Amino acid sequence: MQLRQSIEFRGKEMIKLRNLSKFYYSKGIIASGLSRINLDLEMGEFVVITGESGSGKSTLINVISGLDTYEEGEMYIEGQETSHYSVGDFEEYRKKYIANIFQNFNLVSSYTVYQNIELILLIEGRSSADVKDKVNDIIDKVGLTEYRNTKVSKLSGGQKQRVAIARALAKETPIIVADEPTGNLDSESAEIVVRLLSELSKDRLVIVVTHNYDQFEKYATRRIKLNDGKLNEDDKIKAVENSEDMKPTEFDKIKAASKLKLGFRNTFNLIPKFLLTLFVFLFLVFAVASQYTSYKAQNDTLNNLGFNSFFMNGTDDRIVFKKQDNTPLTDADYEQVKKLKNVARIEKNDLILDTNVYIEGESTNLDGYPASRENMPKKLVAGRLPEADDEIVVSYYSFNKPQGEPKAIFDDNLKINLDGGGTIKCKIVGLAVKDSNTISLSGASTLHMSEALLQSIKNSALRRVTNVELTINGKKAPSSEGSMQLVANEKVPAGNAFVTEEVDAFYDNGVSKGKKIDIQAKNIYYTDTITVTSQNTYNKSNYKRLLGTEDEYDMVSGKIYISPQDYNYIFEKPDYQSSVFIKDTDDDKLAAVEKELDKLGYKTISLKKAKTSMDELSIINLIRVPMFVIMTVAIFFICYFVIKLILKSRGVYFSILRMLGLDMKSIKQVLDIEMLTIIHIAYGLFMGFAYLVKIKVVDVTTIQNMVKFFALSDYIILYIIVIAMSLIISRKFAKALFKSSAMNSYREGAQ
Ligand code: ADP
Ligand code: MG
């Protein structure tokens, strides 16, 4: 090794390397990057490093820049040892001393020229208003005035190199390190760049790597040649001018306003990335929301199911009431109950509320709950409004549409099968679709019918809850569906009965004709007894004539037929029991209504209180809660990995921030701002969408349902979930970025 000290030392010593070695460990093989380098570099020098490819030039300047570590020897910075330096110490050193100009520029290509130069000053803790003039001056100085607001991605190689130099200039550090700064440039651009660097070297130490020394010959003050990681030549060519040296850069923490500015800038400067991230967060919000609402919808269904089987229509706002003395309810009763506070409406004779009516025809069958024509929808989707007593309008939920064409339904011969036997002929003349806002989870249709039809249904409902017992020849015989069922028939005169052959068997001579039968009807409201005379025993050969029916014998056999007058005497009663529906189902408010009713002399059953949670429900709940959690976590991870992929593609950007000296916490915060901005946009879109659903601009039943189950507190919970998720993602990302040295994370990012 030759070391010629032909020119006298003038500048201030800056970097001193003593026996410095660097090794690379790669796939189990140790390669030497630098070996036993001794070098003193001073302020004011324009050092040009040359050497074959692979001779260690990049390694040397990366070590000097604090971008890479060394294994042996010592590096002194202004006389200070660095072998004990931590990663943080090197970061600080880089901030104070080093401005890098990279061969591949390391510019943020989605930023404009101005923004790239401004970036380094913001990182140094200066405010964007302060640096405006300085940035513009520097842009003028490198001759890019007309490209000030052009995105770097649109510039030529020579222009990019000048932006990289401008950025180094803005940093005002004592040392500028440039790896192949003219590598990609035509000779004209190269000349400009070299002259610029030479000018900069007046009050700094400029170190340049090149394989084209000729371009630098005019300006270099010193030439260093590397060979195989060793110092081969070290020529001091020119004297160093003595001038005021650049001091290590003073820097502050990056300002909060600057982080905000960068965060917003990053949110929108890459539109595809923005849209993709927005899409992922939209998916997150909607997926979590739909999980959550389906969980709540299930809750609601289960609450309605968790209820004794007597009342099928068990909404929380329903209170069943009847007189404490079991006498029928009168108009005066309804008047005073209606006046109570918190009462919304009364449903007289509430048995029909719990009566599901089944309508059957040749091609049609459907079911629903009976209702009067009072609240019938005016707008039909098919058919017409009803006129005759046997005409019905069916209003259904769009998801529970009756099967078959409307015309086929209208033309069909239909009948209602009544509880406790008997059928009523009817016709469906109109179809309506229910307002999905008033959805009941059972999805049951409503059958709007005449008062006459309703009365029959009410009677049959009462029949259902009534125990009928016959006394024949002094013996008691239950009347049930299978045998001796009581049925009304027009052909039977009042006070008489047409009986099945079974009745004859009660008499020794096998003849019941002319004998008395006591019929006792007993239910929770009343007990009634009538006595009829058996007038005829019907059998297979005479039943059609006697009963006036064309039905198969199987259908009529085993029954006791009495006159409609007698039947109605037993079952057509005034209202013994009705329901009151309240506005506010809050426990206290509900109890208050019950108390008032009690004072007025009524017995009550609150369906909210009467709910008994079945054992199965608690088991279902045991599964449901973890299922909800698992699904939510799964959605979280799907989004997490997609966001991670998106962020990975931006690893270069964040490595640049890091190489420019931004600390981990600030990088995380800049990322946070970006994520939070997108999340808020996604959440805003979600809320806007929910609003459109609410005001019914968007009219899809399932989504309506979803939104219906969303309370204010749920919006807040969901908000917290997505915010927490975005914070976790940016934190993990920032940590991963800082796990390895700046050079490694840059290498990884660049891959
Ligand atoms: P130059 O810049 O002069 O072309 P480098 O400094 O890039 O040379 O490389 C010096 C030596 O170190 C070469 O032999 C090269 O193969 C090796 N080297 C450089 N970087 C790595 C690395 N990341 N891992 C392993 N070996 C490396
Ligand atoms: Mg190299």
Q: Return the ligand number nearest the Cα of 179.
A: 2
Which pLDDT does position 12 carry in this prediction?
74
Dist CA 638 CA 629 (whole Å)? 14
Which pLDDT does position 231 carry in this prediction?
92
How big is the chain, counted in residues?
A: 751
Residue 26, amino acid: S
Q: What residues form DSSP beta bridges with 427?
A: 391
Dist CA 164 CA 102 (whole Å)? 8
Please give the residue that has the higher pLDDT: either 302 or 429: 429
In a domain, residue 676? The reply is yes
- Rounded to the nearest angstrom, the distance between the alpha carbon of 230 and the centre of ligand 1 is 13
Dist CA 692 CA 707 (whole Å)? 10
Same domain for 564 and 684?
A: no
In a domain, residue 333? The reply is no
Q: Is the pTM of this model over 0.85?
A: no
Which pLDDT does position 117 carry in this prediction?
95
What kind and span of H or E run contains 603?
Answer: strand 602-606
Q: Which residues does ligand 1 sit against, CB inside 6 Å?
A: 24, 26, 31, 33, 51, 53-59
Which pLDDT does position 310 carry in this prediction?
55
- Of the three residues 250, 282, 306, the one that is the final residue of a domain is 250
Dist CA 577 CA 602 (whole Å)? 10
Determine which of 195-209, 283-297, 672-686 has the lowest per-residue pLDDT on average.
Answer: 283-297
Range of the domain at 155: 2-250
Determine which of 381-390, 654-663, 738-747 has the lowest per-residue pLDDT on average.
Answer: 738-747
- Of the three residues 399, 433, 462, the one that is the final residue of a domain is 462
What does the DSSP 8-state code read for residue 324? Answer: T
In a domain, residue 195? The reply is yes
Q: In what order do the strands lie in the sheet with 577-582?
A: 343-347, 577-582, 318-323, 602-606
- As a whole-number percent, the residues of the chain with pLDDT over 70 amount to 90
Q: Which atom of ligand 1 is nearest to the CA of 57?
A: 3
pLDDT band at 610 (very low <50, low <70, confident <90, very high): low
Determine which of 188-192, 259-263, 384-388, 701-705 has the lowest per-residue pLDDT on average.
Answer: 701-705
Q: Which atom of ligand 1 is nearest to the CA of 56?
A: 6
Q: Which atom of ligand 1 is nearest to the CA of 25?
A: 25
Check pLDDT > 90 for residue 203. no
In a domain, residue 336? The reply is no
In a domain, residue 600? The reply is no
Q: Which atom of ligand 1 is nearest to the CA of 747?
A: 23
Check pLDDT > 70 for residue 397. yes
- Rounded to the nearest angstrom, the distance between the alpha carbon of 58 and the centre of ligand 2 is 4
Which of 58, 104, 226, 751 to probe ligand 1 with, by most ligand atoms within 8 A of CB? 58
Q: Which atom of ligand 1 is nearest to the CA of 60?
A: 6
Q: Tokens in use for 78? A: 């202004």
- Of the three residues 462, 491, 519, the one that is the final residue of a domain is 462
Dist CA 746 CA 751 (whole Å)? 9
The residue whose CA is least distant from atom 14 of ligand 1 is 54
pLDDT digits (tens, 9 = 90+) for 679-722: 999 999 988 988 888 787 777 766 776 677 777 888 888 888 88
Same domain for 270 and 205?
A: no
Same domain for 656 and 530?
A: no
In a domain, residue 594? The reply is no
pLDDT digits (tens, 9 = 90+) for 205-242: 999 999 889 999 999 999 999 999 999 999 888 887 76
Same domain for 109 and 183?
A: yes
In a domain, residue 611? The reply is no
Same domain for 33 and 119?
A: yes
Q: Tokens in use for 510? A: 């096998």
Which pLDDT does position 326 carry in this prediction?
82
pLDDT digits (tens, 9 = 90+) for 127-184: 999 999 999 999 998 889 999 999 999 998 888 988 998 998 898 889 999 988 887 7
Same domain for 167 and 109?
A: yes
Check pLDDT > 70 for residue 262. yes
Q: Return the ligand number nearest the Cα of 53.
A: 1
pLDDT band at 302 (very low <50, low <70, confident <90, very high): low
Q: Return the ligand number nearest the Cα of 59.
A: 1
Dist CA 731 CA 727 (whole Å)? 6
Same domain for 22 and 66?
A: yes
Alpha carbon of 206 to those of 191, 503, 717: distances in Å?
16, 122, 56
Q: Which atom of ligand 1 is nearest to the CA of 33?
A: 12
Mean pLDDT computed over 296-308 = 57
Dist CA 527 CA 522 (whole Å)? 4
- Rounded to the nearest angstrom, the distance between the alpha carbon of 656 and the centre of ligand 1 is 21
Alpha carbon of 684 to those of 678, 680, 681, 700, 729: distances in Å?
10, 6, 5, 20, 20
Same domain for 517 and 541?
A: yes
Which pLDDT does position 237 carry in this prediction?
86
Same domain for 715 and 634?
A: yes
The residue whose CA is least distant from atom 10 of ligand 1 is 56
Count of the separate structural domains present in the chain: 4
Same domain for 28 and 176?
A: yes
- Rounded to the nearest angstrom, the distance between the alpha carbon of 180 and the centre of ligand 2 is 8
Which pLDDT does position 614 carry in this prediction?
47
pLDDT band at 491 (very low <50, low <70, confident <90, very high): very high
Dist CA 681 CA 673 (whole Å)? 12
In CATH, what number is assigned to the domain containing residue 27? 3.40.50.300
Mean pLDDT computed over 261-273 = 90
Q: Return the ligand number nearest the Cα of 54.
A: 1
pLDDT digits (tens, 9 = 90+) for 19-70: 999 998 877 888 888 989 999 999 999 999 999 988 999 999 999 999 888 9
Check pLDDT > 70 for residue 3. no
The residue whose CA is least distant from atom 26 of ligand 1 is 24
Same domain for 244 and 188?
A: yes
The residue whose CA is least distant from atom 6 of ligand 1 is 56
Dist CA 734 CA 67 (whole Å)? 18
Check pLDDT > 60 for residue 308. no
Dist CA 454 CA 389 (whole Å)? 10
Residue 205, amino acid: L
Check pLDDT > 70 for residue 510. yes
Please give the residue that has the higher pLDDT: either 244 or 23: 23
- Rounded to the nearest angstrom, the distance between the alpha carbon of 51 and the centre of ligand 2 is 10
Please provide the average confidence, as pLDDT, over all residues in the chain: 85
Which of 59, 224, 231 to probe ligand 1 with, by most ligand atoms within 8 A of CB? 59
Check pLDDT > 90 for residue 731. no
Q: Are 105 and 180 in contact (CB under 8 A)?
A: no
- Rounded to the nearest angstrom, the distance between the alpha carbon of 67 and the centre of ligand 1 is 14
In a domain, residue 364? The reply is yes
Which pLDDT does position 421 carry in this prediction?
63
Q: Which atom of ligand 1 is nearest to the CA of 226?
A: 3
Look at phi and psi of residue 695 and say left if phi exceeds 0, alpha if psi is from -120 to 50, else beta.
Answer: alpha
Same domain for 20 and 74?
A: yes
- As a whole-number percent, the residues of the chain with pLDDT over 90 amount to 34
